[in-house]
Amino acid sequence: MDWIGLPATLRLVEARGGAYVYVPKPGDLNADCALVGIVGHDAALLLAREFPGAELPVAKASAAMRAVRDAAICHDYYVLHKSQATLALAYRLDVRTIRNIVNRTALHDQLDMFGETA
């Protein structure tokens, strides 16, 4: 689900992983729609335009999704220099969780292997 972004995809997997999610038609989206509540209006609209009226299977990939999320958080923190508070809001985590993720990851020590600097 590259087109809705990682944070929205993670929320969708967390909320519906292992089940199906109904994607309404674009004209049927509203604030009470379950999909809007999970991924937000913009991401729901993108899905509705691509899969109007579909029942989409959502993979249950907890460990893999958590690893991808953590790598994205570390990239945003060490490379893009986003604050922990900003990341907490973007990924819907608390600041303490963000701090634990960036502290236990040695990404900032390994960036030179990829030609990037922290």
Give the C-alpha distances (Å, rounded to integers) separating 71 from 21, 68, 75, 111: 26, 5, 6, 12
Coil, helix or strand at residue 55: strand
Coil, helix or strand at residue 32: coil
Q: Which of 26-40, 54-68, 104-118 is most confident?
A: 26-40
Among candidate residues 51, 52, 43, 58, the one with its CA nearest the CA of residue 4: 43
At 81-97, the pLDDT tens digits run 999 999 999 999 999 99
For all residues of the chain together, what is the average pLDDT? 87
Which of 18-22, 63-67, 104-108 has the least mean pLDDT? 104-108
Domain spans in the chain, listed from the N-terminal domain onward: 2-57, 62-114
The whole-model pTM stands at 0.57
Instruction: Write down the pLDDT at residue 104.
Output: 84
Residue 45 corresponds to which tokens in the numbers above?
Answer: 């609209």
Q: Alpha helices of 19-83 — where are they, by DSSP H?
A: 34-39, 41-50, 62-78
User: 67 versus 16: which is more confidently predicted?
Assistant: 16
Say whether pLDDT at 117 is over 60: no
